[in-house]
A = this chain, B = another copy of it.
Amino acid sequence: MNLQSVIVSQSPEDKFREYLTTGNKSQRFTGQQRDMVRFIFSHHDHFDAEALISDMQAASLKISRATAYRTLNKLVDAGLLRRLELGTRTFYEHDYGYPQHDHLQCTKCGKVIEFQNPIIEEAIKQASLAHGFQSEGHSFIVRGVCKECNIARMPKRQLDLI
Contacts and interface: CB of A to CB of B under 8 A. Distances in A.
Interface of A: 85, 87-90, 102, 104, 106-107, 113, 115, 117, 119-120, 122-124, 126-128, 130-147, 150
B117 A120 contact: no
Nearest to A148: B132
A131 B143 contact: no
Given A102-B127, A115-B127, A119-B122, A132 B150 contact: yes
A142 B129 CA distance: 13
Question: This chain: how many copies in the complex?
Answer: 2
B147 A142 contact: no
Given A85-B85, A88-B85, A123-B120, A133 B142 contact: yes
A17 to B, nearest CB: 28
B144 A136 contact: yes
B145 A127 contact: no
A51 to B, nearest CB: 17
The 5 nearest A-B residue pairs measured at CB: A132-B147, A135-B144, A115-B127, A136-B144, A138-B142
Contact of A147 (B85, B89, B106, B133): B133
Contacts of A146: 131-133
Contacts of A124: 142
Given A123-B123, A142-B128, A113 B136 contact: no
A144 B140 contact: no
Given A115-B127, A123-B120, A126-B117, A143 B132 contact: no
